[in-house]
Amino acid sequence: KQEVTQIPAALSVPEGENLVLNCSFTDSAIYNLQWFRQDPGKGLTSLLLIQSSQREQTSGRLNASLDKSSGRSTLYIAASQPGDSATYLCAVAPGNEKLTFGTGTRLTIIP
């Protein structure tokens, strides 16, 4: 059974710093990996989707990488801002509808 782990559960960094969030998964037979952000009391917002054949995806200050062989993905946030404060979740897709989600990293950017 696929397991997705996100460590640490919470992270605080000063504004302006670059940071990396981690996502690890136990079964490398995935179709894609998605990163989401969730603001308190809200739903999830899709940030980036990496196909299994890709190594990375970029959107603005965000860059996500995927290493299937090691079962790892990272989300890099450049020049962090207070508005980046949220919970970040990753999810792996096995090729069917049953995605497996991590429990997220709660990020706080300190002004």
Partner 1 sequence: NAGVTQTPKFQVLKTGQSMTLQCAQDMNHNSMYWYRQDPGMGLRLIYYSASEGTTDKGEVPNGYNVSRLNKREFSLRLESAAPSQTSVYFCASSKDRQGAVYSPLHFGNGTRLTVT
- Residues within the interface to partner 1 (CB under 8 A): 4, 31-32, 34, 36, 41-46, 49, 51, 89, 91, 93, 95-104
CB 50 within 8 A of CB 36: no
Tell me whether the omega of the peptide bond preceding residue 8 falls within 30 degrees of 0, making it cis.
yes
- How far apart are CB 96 and partner 1 at their closest, in Å? 6
- How far apart are CB 46 and partner 1 at their closest, in Å? 4
Identity of the residue, 18 or 103, whose beta carbon is nearer to partner 1 in the bound complex: 103
Q: What tokens were used for 58? A: 């970029």
Identity of the residue, 18 or 58, whose beta carbon is nearer to partner 1 in the bound complex: 58
Identity of the residue, 77 or 90, whose beta carbon is nearer to partner 1 in the bound complex: 90
Q: What tokens were used for 44? A: 């999830």
Biggest CA pair distance of the chain: 41
**Taken in order 93, 94, 97, 98, is the CA torsion positive or negative?**
negative
- How far apart are CB 12 and partner 1 at their closest, in Å? 20
